């Protein structure tokens, strides 16, 4: 018998012995192994972004000043190129190749009314503006009706001699209309944080020099303001339908007749039906006025009044639009919900960016610094959500308690593994159907939410979010999360995490990603924190077209990590 025959014989005997020992346990092991391989192959996907793009997210300048770090810019605005200054608005008839204007708030509303201008299946599509009352009452507002309110309210305030308009109402259509009315009629808008102590409201009115107030009954201390703030000349009440039968034009006793009191609905209703439907013409328009916001610090520290120019807002809005990848950009199919106060510059900038993108916008009074996202999203199903860090911490705590069983913990491990090791958002599968029942209740249609934006506010008492918590929330909600650093004198954000950055580190506060395309960041020596050629650490400074005054010190220490992302020291 030849060697080859011996080989075949030994092989035959080996196979025979192998199957002779086969039993039910062998079947289970082989089936599990084949199932595991099949699952790995069928669910394997390319990362959402190339891993090398996350390794070095910003670049420093080649030269630094003594006691100062290099100047860091995001990869979207490299050194040698100008920072993003505006929206690149193209006027009618302009060449498509010509550079557009930076634009201002007026161009935001013009774009919202005009609809999508780019060629494609969504050309001409317009977003909706919704007011949400309770769980079922959702009202859609006509864009033409809002345009009429903008014109009539702006014209009324202008005719009465107003110039600085304080807006003291929760998130609402009237707040947006008042803001745009100020923009179109060259009035300075002063957005006050809602639900403040009476003495703080009077202080903010004094510091801003407001002569007109737009507010709602029951929230504004008219008697006290009329007594202690004699510069008030106009008051416009926004009255609910159920209370409009009452006389709201009375002036408190002892104040004389110096305050002209009117109501929003009477200004609109008493005007001719044909009035106010056309926006003021683009030709010959004046330079836009400023917008004043108040930055709230920790309890016991007075708020800081910050004046932003139209250029600050245009730059900030443009940088937010540029920060979202083209395939994921906001559009008419999105429903945007700000579950934080529009008096916050980060939330306001994102809301204006949504309007400019022709996304639908939902507004409700619950959204004013909402801590319960389930309550803030009742009656609607947002696809993009702006939330406070406190609301996300509460959502994380409540949802984590649902994952106490062994099956739930293992499913969460699989979801997290897709994010952190494969770099992809988990997709719906047979195994994830059980996981879906444990997710937080955000919106009426689970699974529609695709993006959550939140920001750490410098100097405030907002809770800090770790990268592990952000990763858990991505798995819990099925939405990507952007974490930004916002500051008093910066419209929008200083820096924010990249759209596809799902990495997890051992930290108590996650990094804030690279600077946006409208900002650049550097550090100066601060106490124990010293900058060297190899270490960029110290007090955070930011400058750029979105910064009030061009440059600002944040008053907190930070550093650039090895991947050139900004973090607290």
- Contact 405/474 with Cβ under 8 angstroms? no
- Contact 338/347 with Cβ under 8 angstroms? yes
Q: What is the mean pLDDT of residues 361-377?
A: 82
Please determine, for residue 217, whether its predicted confidence score (pLDDT) is greater than 80: yes
pLDDT the model gives residue 375: 87
pLDDT the model gives residue 438: 81
Backbone angles phi, psi at 337, to 5 degrees: -125, 115
Going by the DSSP 8-state scheme, the letter that residue 98 receives in this structure is S
The per-residue DSSP string of 329-385 comes to: ---TT-EEEE-S-TTSHHHHHHHHHHHHTT-EEEE-GGGTT-S-HHHHTTT---SEE
Interval 449-464: pLDDT, tens: 999 999 999 999 899 9
Alpha-carbon distance of 369 to 386, in angstroms, equals 10
Alpha-carbon distance of 478 to 399, in angstroms, equals 13
Lowest mean per-residue pLDDT among 61-70, 301-310, 345-354, 436-445? 436-445
pTM greater than 0.85: yes
Q: Which two three-digit tokens encode residue 97?
A: 């190749």
pLDDT the model gives residue 23: 86
Which element (helix H / strand E) includes 553? strand 551-560
Q: Cα 91 vs. chain centroid, distance in angstroms?
A: 28
Going by the DSSP 8-state scheme, the letter that residue 458 receives in this structure is T
Q: What is the mean pLDDT of residues 82-89?
A: 95
Please determine, for residue 351, whether its predicted confidence score (pLDDT) is greater than 70: yes
pLDDT the model gives residue 252: 57
Q: What is the mean pLDDT of residues 308-320?
A: 98
Question: What is the band of 247 on the pLDDT scale with cuts at 50, 70, 90?
Answer: low
Please determine, for residue 311, whether its predicted confidence score (pLDDT) is greater than 90: yes
Going by the DSSP 8-state scheme, the letter that residue 563 receives in this structure is T
pLDDT the model gives residue 325: 95
Lowest mean per-residue pLDDT among 184-193, 294-303, 499-508, 513-522? 294-303
Q: What is the mean pLDDT of residues 332-352?
A: 97
Using alpha carbons, select from 437, 440, 434 the residue that is nearest to residue 452. 440
Interval 524-547: pLDDT, tens: 999 999 999 889 999 999 999 999
Task: Characterize 129-154 residue by residue with b for buried, 16 or more Cβ atoms within 10 angstroms of its Cβ, and e for exposed.
Answer: bbbbeeeeebeebebeebbbbbbbbb
pLDDT the model gives residue 246: 67
Question: What is the band of 500 on the pLDDT scale with cuts at 50, 70, 90?
Answer: very high
The Cβ of residue 435 has, within 10 Å, a number of other Cβ atoms equal to 23
- Contact 390/463 with Cβ under 8 angstroms? yes
The Cβ of residue 285 has, within 10 Å, a number of other Cβ atoms equal to 13
Question: What is the band of 248 on the pLDDT scale with cuts at 50, 70, 90?
Answer: low
Lowest mean per-residue pLDDT among 17-26, 141-150, 338-347? 17-26
The per-residue DSSP string of 159-188 comes to: HTT--EEEEE--SSHHHHHHHHHHHHTT-E
Question: What is the band of 43 on the pLDDT scale with cuts at 50, 70, 90?
Answer: low
User: To the nearest whole number, what is the mean pLDDT of the chain?
Assistant: 90
Q: Which two three-digit tokens encode residue 405?
A: 């069983």
Q: What is the mean pLDDT of residues 2-14?
A: 77
Alpha-carbon distance of 491 to 295, in angstroms, equals 11
Q: Is 369 left (phi over 0), alpha (psi -120 to 50) or beta?
A: left
pLDDT the model gives residue 245: 61
The per-residue DSSP string of 22-90 comes to: --HHHHHHHHHHHHHHHHHHHH----SS-THHHH--EEE-S---TTBPPPEEETTS-TTSPPP-S--BP
pLDDT the model gives residue 17: 78
Please determine, for residue 284, whether its predicted confidence score (pLDDT) is greater than 60: yes
- For 171, 443, 481, the CA distances from 329, given in Å and listed in that order, are 24, 21, 14
Alpha-carbon distance of 162 to 179, in angstroms, equals 14
Lowest mean per-residue pLDDT among 66-70, 79-83, 250-254? 250-254
Alpha-carbon distance of 559 to 567, in angstroms, equals 6
Lowest mean per-residue pLDDT among 37-41, 120-124, 233-237, 484-488? 37-41
Please determine, for residue 256, whether its predicted confidence score (pLDDT) is greater than 60: no
Please determine, for residue 332, whether its predicted confidence score (pLDDT) is greater than 80: yes
Which element (helix H / strand E) includes 129? strand 129-133
Please determine, for residue 434, whether its predicted confidence score (pLDDT) is greater than 80: no
Interval 466-486: pLDDT, tens: 999 999 999 999 999 999 999
Alpha-carbon distance of 227 to 222, in angstroms, equals 8
Please determine, for residue 4, whether its predicted confidence score (pLDDT) is greater than 70: yes
- Name the percent of the chain lying above pLDDT 90: 65
Q: Cα 386 vs. chain centroid, distance in angstroms?
A: 5
In the chain, the N- to C-terminal Cα span, in Å, equals 78
pLDDT the model gives residue 430: 64
- Contact 339/391 with Cβ under 8 angstroms? yes
The Cβ of residue 40 has, within 10 Å, a number of other Cβ atoms equal to 9
pLDDT the model gives residue 407: 83
Interval 89-113: pLDDT, tens: 988 777 778 888 999 999 999 999 9
Q: Please report where in the chains the tokens 């959204």 appear, as a residue.
A: 367
pLDDT the model gives residue 16: 81
Q: What is the mean pLDDT of residues 119-141?
A: 88
Please determine, for residue 254, whether its predicted confidence score (pLDDT) is greater than 60: no
563: buried, middle or exposed (CB in 10 Å: 19+, 13-18, 0-12)?
middle
pLDDT the model gives residue 333: 95
CB under 8 Å to 22, separation ≥6 — which residues? none
* Cα dihedral 156, 157, 161, 163 sign: negative
Lowest mean per-residue pLDDT among 43-57, 153-167, 282-296? 43-57
23: buried, middle or exposed (CB in 10 Å: 19+, 13-18, 0-12)?
exposed
- Contact 190/111 with Cβ under 8 angstroms? no
Alpha-carbon distance of 173 to 363, in angstroms, equals 7
Using alpha carbons, select from 127, 107, 116 the residue that is nearest to residue 184. 107
């Amino acid at each position: 018998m030849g060697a080859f025959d011996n080989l075949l014989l030994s092989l035959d005997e080996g196979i025979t012995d192998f199957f002779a020992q086969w039993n039910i346990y062998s079947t289970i092991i082989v089936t599990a192994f084949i199932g595991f391989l099949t699952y790995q192959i069928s669910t394997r996907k390319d990362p959402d972004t190339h891993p090398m793009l996350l390794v070095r997210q910003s670049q420093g300048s080649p030269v630094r000043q003594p006691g100062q770090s290099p100047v860091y810019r995001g990869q979207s605005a490299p050194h040698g190129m100008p920072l993003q200054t505006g929206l690149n608005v193209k006027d009618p008839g302009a060449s498509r190749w010509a550079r557009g204007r930076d634009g201002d708030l007026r161009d935001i509303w013009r774009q919202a009314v005009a609809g999508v201008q780019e060629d494609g299946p969504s050309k001409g599509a317009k977003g909706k503006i919704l007011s949400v009352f309770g769980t079922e009452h959702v009202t859609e507002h006509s864009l033409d009706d809002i345009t009429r309110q903008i014109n009539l309210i702006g014209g009324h305030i202008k005719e009465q001699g107003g110039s600085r308009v304080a807006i003291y109402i929760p998130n609402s259509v009237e707040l947006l209309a008042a803001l745009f009315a100020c923009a179109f009629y060259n009035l300075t808008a002063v957005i006050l944080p809602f639900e403040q102590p009476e003495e703080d409201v009077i202080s903010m009115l004094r510091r801003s020099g407001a002569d007109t107030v737009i507010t709602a009954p029951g929230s504004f201390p008219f008697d006290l303001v009329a007594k202690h703030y004699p510069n008030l000349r106009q008051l416009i009440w926004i009255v609910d339908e159920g209370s409009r039968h009452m006389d709201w034009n009375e002036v408190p006793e002892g104040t004389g007749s110096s305050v002209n009191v009117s109501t929003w609905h009477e200004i609109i209703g008493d005007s001719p039906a044909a009035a106010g439907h056309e926006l003021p013409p683009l030709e010959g328009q004046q330079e836009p006025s400023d917008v004043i916001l108040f930055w709230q610090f920790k309890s016991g520290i007075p708020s800081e009044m910050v004046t932003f120019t139209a250029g600050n807002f245009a730059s900030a809005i443009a940088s937010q639009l540029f920060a979202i990848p083209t395939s994921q950009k906001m559009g008419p199919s999105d429903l945007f919900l700000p579950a934080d106060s529009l008096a916050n510059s980060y939330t306001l900038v994102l809301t204006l960016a949504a309007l400019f993108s022709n996304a639908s916008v939902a507004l409700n009074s619950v959204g004013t610094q909402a801590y319960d996202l389930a309550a803030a999203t009742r009656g609607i199903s947002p696809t993009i959500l702006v939330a406070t860090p406190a609301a996300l911490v509460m959502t994380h705590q409540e949802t984590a308690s649902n994952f106490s069983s062994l099956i739930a913990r293992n499913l969460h491990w699989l979801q997290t593994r897709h994010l952190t090791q494969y770099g992809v958002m988990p997709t719906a599968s047979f195994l994830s159907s059980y996981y879906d029942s444990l997710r937080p209740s955000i919106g009426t249609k689970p699974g529609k939410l695709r993006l959550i934006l939140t920001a750490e506010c410098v100097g405030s008492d907002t809770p800090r979010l770790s990268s592990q918590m952000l990763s858990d929330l991505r798995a819990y909600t099925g939405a990507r999360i952007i974490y930004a650093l916002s500051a008093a004198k910066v419209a929008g954000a200083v820096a924010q995490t990249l759209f596809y950055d799902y990495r997890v580190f051992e930290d108590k506060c996650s990094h804030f990603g690279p600077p946006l395309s409208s900002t650049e960041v550097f550090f100066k020596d601060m106490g124990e924190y010293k900058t060297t050629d190899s270490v960029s650490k110290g007090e955070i400074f930011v400058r750029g077209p979105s910064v009030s005054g061009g440059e600002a010190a944040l008053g907190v220490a930070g550093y650039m990590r090895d991947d050139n992302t900004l973090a607290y020291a």
